[in-house]
Chains A and B, each alone.
Chain A
Amino acid sequence: MRLHDFRGGVHPPSQKHLSAGRPIESLPLPSRLYIPLQQHAGAPALPVVAVGQQVGKGELLARAQGATSAPLHAPSSGRIAAIGEFTAPHASGLPLPTIILETDGEERWAERESLPDPFELSPEEVARRVGAAGIVGMGGANFPAAVKLSKARQAGVHTLVINGAECEPYVTCDDQLMRERAGEIADGIAIMLHALQASHAVVAIENNKPEAVEAMSDACRHDARIEVLSLPSRYPAGSAKQLIQLLTGLETPAGGRGTDTGLLVHNVGTAYAAHRALRHDRPLITRIVTVSGGAVPEPRNLEVPIGALAADLLAYCGGVSDERARLLMGGPMMGQPLPGPQVPVIKGTNGILALTPDEIGEASAPSPCIRCGRCVEACPMGLLPLELSKRARGEDWEGIQALGLNDCMSCGSCAYVCPSHIPLPQYFAYARDMLAAQRREEQKARRTRELMEQRQARFERQERAKAEAAAQRRAAKKPRTAVLEADED
C-alpha cells in the first residue's frame, strides 16, 4: 500500500524513551476498585448487582443500556462495597455513579463458558460477543466496539485498519502490547475480519516503534490478508481521519463516517481484547496503562484492573516527585487534567502522566494574536483556528459554525505552535458548550410550544365534543323542545 499524506500536524518531542521497552507488569491488586457506570460513549451501564453481594472475577456488574452502551464486569473477585458517586476521570472532578468493589485478593473467576471456534460463529454472533465482553475503543474514544463492527459490516467495509500509531507523546502502552502480545493481536484481527466480513487488514504503526513493527510483521506473516505498515511519525497520525487519509488519500466526508471510505479503524488494544473475549471468554477488565512523565521516578507500562486509582499506579511507580506536577489521564496533547490522584482508570485510559512545569512549557499568559498563521498551517483539518477563536471571543455563534467548528477534533496542534500561547482548544470547547446550551434552549422552547399547541388543540377538541354532545342531546330531545326552540328563535 502506497502511503499518502495528511495536512498540517506537529512534531512534539515524543518522550517515549521514558517508558518504551519496559515490560508490562501487573499492578498489585488494590483493595478497592472504583468502576464508573459511564466509561464509554452512549448510555451508562445499569447495575445488576446489589451492595454487599459477593462477585467472582469477570462477573457482570452492570449491563448495557440501549443500542450504544457497554456492560461492565468485575475486574477481580470480592464484595460490592457501595454503589454511589465517585470522582470522575474528568477535569471537572464532578462525581459520577460508580460501583465500588472491595477485592478479596482471591482472584476467583466466575464460571466461564466453553468456547466454540470463533470462525464457526456467524459474524453477528462474534460482534455480539465482543459487545457482551464490554469492549470499547481502547484508543481513548471509548466507543462500543460491537456497534462499530456491526455498522461497518452493514456499510460494506473492505479494510480493517488496526491503529498502532500511538502518536501521543509519552504513551507506550500500545507499543509494548504489540511487542509482547503480537500473536494475540494478530488473532484478534482475524476474528474482527470475520466479524466484519472484510477482506483486508492493515496494521499502521508510527516508525518510531521499529520493535513493534517487527513483532507485528512476524505475527502476521502467515496471514496474507494482513499488512503491517510503518508510518511517518507526526501528530496526529493516530487520529482515525488522518490515518485513513495517510493510508488511502481519501477523506471522511464532513458529517459522514469513516466507514464511508470503506475502512474501519480500531485500536490494537481493541483487537487484543477481542482475542481475549472470543478465545478465552475474558471480558474487558484490565488494560495496559503507561505511567510516565518527568515527575514519575520509575516510568512503567502496567497491566491494571479497570477501577484502580491513578494514585495506586503512581505509588507503584515511585510516587510523584514534584509537587507542582500536572496529573493527566491520556497523553499531553489531548489528555484530561485530573483534579487529583484519587481518580479511577477506565477502559479508555492509555496513560497516567505526571508532568513537571518544564515539560508542559513556560506558563506564560496569553498575549495578543499576531496572525502569524502557524495555527492554520498546523491544523490537520484545514481550519482557521485564529478566526474560530476570534468568533468565540466575540460570541459569534453563527460565524464560528460557518468557519467549521464542528470539523475541529480538538487535537491541540494549533495551541501547541501558537507563539502567543492562546488556549485555542478551550475557546472551541467553550463555543461548543454554548452552542449545545443554545440547542437545549431551543429544544425546550420547541417542546413548550408543542405542549401549548397540544393543550390548545385538546381544549378545542373538548369544546367541540361538548358542543356536539349538546347538539346530539338537543336532537334527541327535539320532539319536546321543538316548541321552545321555535319560541327562542
Chain B
Amino acid sequence: MNSNSLAGAPHAHDQDSVPRLMSAVLLAILPATLYGLVLFGWPALNLLVVTVLVGLACEAGCLWLAGRPIRSGIMDGSALLTGVLLALSLPPWAPWWIGAVGAGFAIVVGKQVFGGTGQNIFNPAMLARVMLLVSFPVEMTTWLEPHLWWSGTSPGLLEGWLITFGHSTATDGVTGATILGYARTELGMNHSLSQILPGHYQAGAAALGWTGGSLGETAEWLVLLGGLWLLWRRVITWYIPVGMLGAMLVLAGGFHLLDPQRFADPGLHLLSGGLMMGAFFIATDPVTSPISSLGQVVFGIGCGALVYIIRTWGGYPEGVAFAVVLMNAATPLIDHYIRPRAYGRTWSGKPRPVPARAKQPPPLARKSGVDSRD
C-alpha cells in the first residue's frame, strides 16, 4: 500500500526520540539555570549565551566539514545541551573567552573528532571544564557571592557587558571562595572544621543555593528536583545517581564518624559543588556511561568515590569533572566485563543446566471447590 509497507517489525514504537530526551534534560535543568541567572545577573547570562552559541557554531562547522546533514545534527539538541551544561559548571562571571574556548573544545575535541554524537568517550562538557581548570586556574576559581539580579549590588547591563567582554574583573568586595575551597585551604593550615565552618557554611543556605559557586550548581534542591523529574519521566535511570550519591554518603559519613574535625559531614559534601549536578545531569550522559544497569551502578559508585577522594586528598577542592572523566575512561572496561546474564546461559556463556527439581511437577494451587486455597 504505502512505500513503507516493507519495513520490518516491530511496527510500534514508544515514541521517544533523541531530540525528545535532550529537550527533557534541558527542561529539567531550566529551573537551576534560571536561578543561577537570578543569582549572578547579566554577566552570567552573557556567558551562557556565548557558550551555547559557540558550541552550536562549532557543531555546525564540524558537521559541514564531515559532509553530514547539519540541520538534523543540530536539531538533536546534544550540542545545545553540552553548551548549557558547560556554562552551568563555569564561574558565573568568567570572561567570554573562557566560555568560547571551553565550548569549542567540548564540541570539536570532546565530541566531533571521535565521530560526533554517540561516538565520544568523554563527556564533552566535563572534558572542557577539566581543560579550562588546568589551563586557566585563576579565571576558573574566581567565585563571587550571590547578588540578586534586581538588587542594587548586581551589575547593570553595561557593567555586566564589561565584566564578560571587557577587562573589568570582579572586585574583591564581591568575590569569595566556595566552601569546598575555603575548607580545603583552612584544613591545610591545620585548622579544625569546628573552627572553619561556622560563619562560612550553613546547611540551609547551601541547600537553597544562597552561596557562591558555579553558575548552575548552587541550588542543589532545584537540581535535585530536575533530576527526580527526569527519573519520573524515565529519561534517566536511578542506577548512576544512586550509586554516585550513595558512595559519597557512605564515604563522607564513614570518615566523618572517624574524625569529625578533619572530615566534613556528608551533608556538606552533598550540598556543595557540582555533586548533585554531576549525579543527575553529567554522569548520566548515556554516551559515556556503561550500557548495563549493573555497570551503571559500578560507574556511579566509582564517580562518587573519586569525587570524595579528590575533594579530601586531591590537589583540587572540587572533583566532579575529574571523577566523571576518569570513569568515562573506564566505561569500555566496565562494559567489557559487566554484561547481563543471557537467558538460558551461565555467566560464562555456557548453556545453563536445568536443576534436577524441574523433573518434578510444580505444586498446583488448590482449587476452590476441590480444596481450599491456602
For the complex formed, measure the closest distance between the CB of A257 and the CB atoms of chain B, giving whole angstroms.
11
Partner of B358, one of A250, A335, A373: A250
For the complex formed, measure the closest distance between the CB of B271 and the CB atoms of chain A, giving whole angstroms.
29
- Asked whether, in the complex, the Cβ of B353 is within 8 Å of the Cβ of A420, the reply is no
How many angstroms from the CA of A142 to the CA of B359 in the assembled complex? 27
For the complex formed, measure the closest distance between the CB of A412 and the CB atoms of chain B, giving whole angstroms.
3
How many angstroms from the CA of A412 to the CA of B7 in the assembled complex? 13
How many angstroms from the CA of A200 to the CA of B12 in the assembled complex? 37
Pick from B41-49, B214-222, B275-283, B284-292 the stretch touching chain A: B284-292
Within 8 A of A (CB), among B321-346: 339-345
Say yes or no for B16: interface residue by CB 8 A criterion: yes
- Asked whether, in the complex, the Cβ of A261 is within 8 Å of the Cβ of B354, the reply is yes
List residues of chain B with CB within 8 A of the CB of A248: 358, 362
List residues of chain B with CB within 8 A of the CB of A251: 343-344, 352, 354
List residues of chain B with CB within 8 A of the CB of A73: none
List residues of chain A with CB within 8 A of the CB of B360: 158, 262
- Asked whether, in the complex, the Cβ of B10 is within 8 Å of the Cβ of A425, the reply is yes
Pick from B111-119, B128-136, B199-207 the stretch touching chain A: B111-119
Within 8 A of A (CB), among B243-296: 286-293, 296
Say yes or no for B363: interface residue by CB 8 A criterion: yes
Interface size class of B (residues with CB under 8 A): 35 or more
Chain A interface main SS type: loop
How many angstroms from the CA of A279 to the CA of B354 in the assembled complex? 37
Say yes or no for B370: interface residue by CB 8 A criterion: yes
Interface size class of A (residues with CB under 8 A): 35 or more
Partner of B344, one of A10, A253, A333, A410: A253
How many angstroms from the CA of A333 to the CA of B362 in the assembled complex? 31
How many angstroms from the CA of A221 to the CA of B369 in the assembled complex? 8
Say yes or no for B351: interface residue by CB 8 A criterion: yes
List residues of chain A with CB within 8 A of the CB of B342: 254, 381-383, 404, 407
Partner of A337, one of B8, B13, B289: B8
For the complex formed, measure the closest distance between the CB of B174 and the CB atoms of chain A, giving whole angstroms.
40
List residues of chain A with CB within 8 A of the CB of B21: 370, 372, 419
List residues of chain B with CB within 8 A of the CB of A334: 9-10
List residues of chain A with CB within 8 A of the CB of B365: 1, 227
- Asked whether, in the complex, the Cβ of B5 is within 8 Å of the Cβ of A327, the reply is yes
- Asked whether, in the complex, the Cβ of A332 is within 8 Å of the Cβ of B293, the reply is no
List residues of chain B with CB within 8 A of the CB of A429: 8
Say yes or no for A241: interface residue by CB 8 A criterion: yes
For the complex formed, measure the closest distance between the CB of B108 and the CB atoms of chain A, giving whole angstroms.
17
How many A-B residue pairs have C-beta atoms within 8 angstroms? Tell me.
225
How many angstroms from the CA of A92 to the CA of B1 in the assembled complex? 14
Partner of B8, one of A247, A376, A407, A425: A425
Partner of A159, one of B20, B341, B362: B362
- Asked whether, in the complex, the Cβ of B291 is within 8 Å of the Cβ of A360, the reply is no
Partner of A169, one of B12, B14, B18: B12
How many angstroms from the CA of A296 to the CA of B290 in the assembled complex? 44
- Asked whether, in the complex, the Cβ of A359 is within 8 Å of the Cβ of B12, the reply is yes
Partner of B339, one of A200, A227, A384: A384
How many angstroms from the CA of A156 to the CA of B359 in the assembled complex? 8
List residues of chain B with CB within 8 A of the CB of A200: 361-362, 364
Q: Supply 9 further A-B pairs (C-beta < 8 A) apart from A368-B116, A370-B118, A420-B118.
A: A7-B343, A224-B367, A253-B352, A255-B351, A262-B358, A337-B6, A337-B11, A361-B15, A372-B291
13 residue pairs of the A-B complex, CB under 8 angstroms, read A7-B340, A158-B359, A159-B362, A241-B344, A247-B362, A325-B2, A360-B4, A371-B287, A376-B291, A379-B340, A384-B291, A416-B10, A419-B17
Residue ranges of B at the interface with A (Cβ–Cβ < 8 Å): 1-2, 4-18, 20-21, 72, 76, 78, 116-119, 237, 286-293, 296, 339-345, 349-355, 358-365, 367, 369-370
8 closest Cβ pairs, A-B complex? A361-B13, A412-B10, A372-B286, A373-B291, A368-B118, A158-B361, A254-B344, A253-B351
